[in-house]
A and B are shown apart, each in its own frame.
Chain A
Amino acid sequence: GENVGLHLPTLSVQEGDNSIINCAYSNSASDYFIWYKQESGKGPQFIIDIRSNMDKRQGQRVTVLLNKTVKHLSLQIAATQPGDSAVYFCAELTDSWGKLQFGAGTQVVVTP
């Protein structure tokens, strides 16, 4: 279903600090999750993914944690930079072809 019209929650982070973005997902049977970054005027850009047989995955400066018990995902960004300012979405795969259910999104604002 559609998200009802609310403004995106905002996370304000000081440059150099770590960011933690949280997301709840809906389907306990989902087995693949993606975090996307969306900058103004652009489409979502893949950041990192995780399968349900893992509880943690690390990339460059980013870590995704998955807690299947409470259906919760988090994205951790280390040493946040001004270029990290964007909206971040979690998404769960709902079929085997790439169809996604998106979370509400979080606006990250990096302050100097």
Chain B
Amino acid sequence: SAVISQKPSRDICQRGTSLTIQCQVDSQVTMMFWYRQQPGQSLTLIATANQGSEATYESGFVIDKFPISRPNLTFSTLTVSNMSPEDSSIYLCSVGTDRGTEAFFGQGTRLTVV
């Protein structure tokens, strides 16, 4: 298993500002994933972060809004840019095993935009 730490655990931000969320894993992993969970809803994949290359974004998500860094095999950041109240969600970091099974999640970052 992997232990995943996210920071911050929660934040309240002003509209128009940006927030960077950090995800630290206790072991080296090839792929890291960022998900969004809007209030009362399921998880939706934002992007896949592979070390050494640009993140791959899912339909409906763009790099200008959600820039991602992956500087090494244990760390990634997700920035939520130019925030609006519609960005209020829980943002979750995830890693898969090398065999692609048992994807593990961090505890999430609860973002409220006012």
Contacts and interface: CB of A to CB of B under 8 A. Distances in A.
Nearest to B96: A98
What size tier do the contact residues of chain A reach?
A: 20 to 34
A39 B102 CA distance: 18
B75 interface: no
Contact of B44 (A49, A93, A102): A102
Q: Which of B30, B105, B108 has the most CB of A within 10 A?
A: B105
Contact of A98 (B60, B94, B107): B94
A49 B59 contact: no
B102 A104 contact: no
Given A98-B33, A102-B42, A44 B105 contact: yes
A76 B101 CA distance: 21
Q: Which of B33, B43, B99, B105 has the most CB of A within 10 A?
A: B43
Contact of B38 (A5, A101, A102, A103): A5
**B-side binding surface: helix, strand, loop or mixed?**
loop
**A-side binding surface: helix, strand, loop or mixed?**
loop
Nearest to A36: B105
B102 A46 contact: yes
Interface string B39-78: 0111111001000000000011000000000000000000
A1 B101 contact: no
Contact of A7 (B31, B40, B45): B40
Given A3-B41, A5-B38, A44-B92, A97 B108 contact: no
B97 interface: yes
A45 B94 CA distance: 11
B87 to A, nearest CB: 14
B96 A1 contact: no
Contacts of A103: 42
B43 A89 contact: yes
B74 to A, nearest CB: 15
A34 B94 CA distance: 14
Contacts of B108: 41-43
A43 B42 contact: no
Q: Which of A32, A44, A95, A98 has the most CB of B within 10 A?
A: A98
